[in-house]
Amino acid sequence: MAKKYKKIVGNMLIAQSGGPTVVINQSLIGAVMEARKHKQIQKIFGALHGIKGILGEDLIDLGRESLETLKAVAATPSSALGSVRKKPTKEDCQKIFEKLQKYNVRYFFYIGGNDSAETAHIINEEAKEADYELHCFHIPKTVDNDLRENDHTPGFASSAKFVAQAFMGDDLDNAALPGVKINVIMGRHAGFLTAASALARTYPGAGPHLIYLPERAFDVTQFAAQVQAQYKKYGRCVVAVSEGIVDAAGTPIAAAYTKEVDSHGNVQLSGTGILGDFLVGLIKQKTDISRVRADTFGYLQRSFPGVVSENDAKEAFAVGREAVKCAVGADIDGSIAIRRKKGAKYQVYFERVPLCNVAKETRHMPDNFIAKNGCDVTKAFLNYAAPIVGKLPKIGRFKRVKAKK
């Protein structure tokens, strides 16, 4: 258990990090609105572009924003404070800590994924070492749904909804003009978002007919044969592929075709159509199917306004609020995890967990979510994902009674 502290009076600083989501501002505003209720929090600083804004003292006064603005920002996609992918060095963290002291920051909140949890963890350790009372919290966010300790993470459900809706439409497009259609979905190491494509199946024979996840080795020869088999069965084939698919040796399929890496050492997977085009080439080479297309859903998955899961928006707001509640209570540090209550009805609760439990490492799709053939999901996954994602559009189809002359 973390050491218990008194309610120290001081300023708050909040920042956003990593890839944006459509609900990351809900978490920001959830925290800010909760903070406004507590006297021990004096000024509320927003750092622009994460730790970069702290290092450069590029701070804005969130106490000066109207309630109307806060509400409008909450409902707006992408990080309103700006974001960053920079991973702080040991010296960076020391400098960040100096800045926090300079601005008398006693309440620090960092919204992001596991890389961001790690950053918060390092800064927190600095503060501990210096015996400086810093209430330091990570607020979860990631469309990849790959944070440990969490049943699911804010941002995932809305992106999953986008992916599911996109597949609903694209499957009907493919049914109208048959062929092979490959859609490349975000998710570097975890297949949750790609798996969500399965929610699009609302009638017998609906796509996606094949789903490839980073959790299972991708075999190019098998891939062509599997597509061929589905094409033979349905006269068409819709495929969901994670951008992060790897071969048996664990090498990303996309890696040979792109070189760009960020400062976390991650290969660039989004913002390019190269994996999809490579897979199209494979199918054309190894089968006699002529109409083969690929789309890479890209950044739309994490930024499209108007396609938001209601649960996701509420929960994203709640984790921000809960982080502040914990911080102004007796807790010194942690991350807010979303847990699911047992029972038929979908309900969640929130729990503070140690920063190091969430930092750095990635949660993967559990085995019981992945079909035995390695290219589909199970009913267990659908039961898991459907209530989080919520309502999807209805699809109407003709009975198609054959006409008589």
CB of 49 to a second copy, least distance (A): 8
Parallel, antiparallel, or unpaired for β 59-61 and 41-47? antiparallel
How many angstroms separate the CA atoms of 252 and 13, rounded? 38
User: Exactly one of 61, 115, 131, 144 is catalytic; which is it?
Assistant: 144
The tokens 């750095």 sit on which residue? 360
* Residue closer to a second copy (CB basis): 2 or 60: 60
| Beta pairing partners, 292 | 180
**Rounded to a whole number, what is the distance in angstroms from the first to the last CA of the chain?**
79
Q: To the nearest whole angstrom, how small is the minimum distance from the Cβ of residue 343 to a second copy? A: 30
Smallest gap from residue 151 Cβ to a second copy (A): 26
Q: Which is closer to a second copy, CB of 192 or CB of 297?
A: 297
Burial status of residue 320 (CB atoms within 10 A of its CB: 0-12, 13-18, 19 or more): buried
Q: Which is nearer to a second copy, 64 or 345 (CB)?
A: 64
In angstroms, the CA 291 to CA 210 distance is 17
Please state, in angstroms and rounded to a whole number, the distance separating the CA atoms of residues 27 and 161: 19
The upper half-sphere exposure of residue 2, i.e. CA atoms within 13 Å in the direction of its Cβ, equals 25
274: number of Cβ within 10 Å: 16
Contacts of 159 (CB under 8 A, 6+ apart): 21, 22, 143, 186, 193, 196, 301, 302
Q: Which is nearer to a second copy, 320 or 334 (CB)?
A: 320
d(C-alpha 17, C-alpha 46), whole Å: 12
Q: Which residue in 85, 4, 12, 33 sits closest to 320, CA to CA?
A: 33
Alpha-carbon distances of 370 from 210, 336, 376, 380, rounded to whole Å:
12, 27, 6, 9
Contact at 8 Å (CB) between 214 and 192? no
Q: 91 is written with which tokens?
A: 């010296």
CB closer to a second copy out of 304 and 350? 304
Known catalytic residue at 131: no
Of 266 and 357, nearer to a second copy (C-beta) is 266
267 vs 260: CA distance, rounded Å: 6
Minimum CB distance to a second copy, residue 70 (Å): 8
Tell me how far, at minimum, the Cβ of 16 lies from a second copy, in Å: 8
Is residue 86 within 8 Å of residue 334, measured between CB atoms? Answer: no
Hey, which residues does 240 pair with through a beta bridge? 183, 211
CB nearer to a second copy: give 172 or 356.
172
Residue 119: CB minimum distance to a second copy, A: 16
Minimum distance between the CB of residue 327 and a second copy, rounded to whole angstroms?
19
Closer residue to a second copy, CB minimum distance, 66 or 221: 66
Structure tokens at 141: 């966010």
Q: What are phi and psi of 92, to 5 degrees?
A: -55, -45
Crossing angle between the packed helical segments 274-286 and 220-234, to the nearest 10 degrees? 70
Q: How far is the CB of 340 from a second copy (least distance, A)?
A: 26
Q: Which residues carry out catalysis?
A: 144
